[in-house]
Structure 1
């Protein structure tokens, strides 16, 4: 594919670095700080090396294409898994509320131990 990242396209150096990482991922090339800097420099975008390094470390070992395809799936994962676990065995789903109750009780007790509470 032909890519063109120019200073007109990138609203900020950080956005240009993100575009560079996406280009590398799309081409199946390992995302490194040096490669991000090379792409942003080729686009005449000044990017501090620390930002390229941080982005490369954040994406290290991750499949960027999978991250992009699962953007909307982040919040619902555990809730979807709970009914499936209940259907499969039943026991794990029954234990979860008991654990939450114990945590809440412990939290309330710790407030009382300090000599004050929310409604005192």
Structure 2
């Protein structure tokens, strides 16, 4: 994976996390702000990916354990 491809991946995740539509222009803006250069086709490829797939569906967050699940019983109770 090239640096440009990886940077576009992160830019796509940033945009999706903020609820901002993923566009090649916005990906390029993030890359410029981070001073990262990449091949000109990567941002448009990631934009097309985001049009076809919901980026948030591709990210699985681990389920957090709840204190309520142990029913008040500890290991040494």
Q: Same fold (TM over 0.5)?
A: yes
Q: Which has the larger radius of gyration?
A: 1
Aligned-residue Cα RMSD (Å) equals 1.7
Cα pair 1:13 1:47 within 8 Å, conserved: yes
CA contact (8 A) 1:31 1:59 kept: yes
Choose from 10, 15, 32 the match for 1:24. 15
* Paired residues, number: 60
Q: Which has the higher contact order (CA 8 A, sep 6+)?
A: 2
Provide the C-alpha distance between the structure 2 equivalents of 1:16 and 1:38, rounded to a whole number of angstroms.
12
Pick the aligned partner of 1:65 from 35, 38, 56: 56
Question: What CA deviation, in whole Å up to 9, does each residue of 1:35-85 have, x standing for no partner?
Answer: 000001100000222111011101214221111128xxxxxxxxxxxxxxx
Q: Matched residues in 1 for 2:22 and 2:39: separation?
A: 16
Q: TM-score, normalised by structure 1?
A: 0.46
Greater fraction helix: 1
Q: Which runs of 4+ in 1 moved over 2 A?
A: none
Structure 2 CA distance for aligned equivalents of residues 61 and 25 of structure 1:
14
